[in-house]
Amino acid sequence: MRYRKPSLKGLLGVTKAKRRLKKDLGIYEVTKVTNAPANAKRRLKRAVGYESEPMKLTRFLRRLFK
């Protein structure tokens, strides 16, 4: 698992405050609708196996020998 050191904004609580504000304003309800097609496409790719390890390797090798 990858570990990332926390950013300054994260430590100061800026990110949490921005998320709370967006939730209170209802922005996430709008983006839920606007992002629905992309989310559905991503779920479909996962279900088909596009993000499986063998496919990742295949795509990597294809880019490598392009």
Residue 1, pLDDT score: 64
Q: How many CB atoms lie within 10 A of CB 37?
A: 9
Give the model confidence (pLDDT) of 16-55 as tens digits.
999 999 999 999 999 999 999 999 999 999 999 998 999 9
CB 42: neighbour CB atoms within 10 A?
Answer: 13
In the chain, where are the structural domains located?
36-66
- How many angstroms separate the CA atoms of 12 and 65, rounded? 45
Residue 61, CA distances (Å) to 4, 43, 56, 57, 65 in order: 27, 24, 9, 6, 6
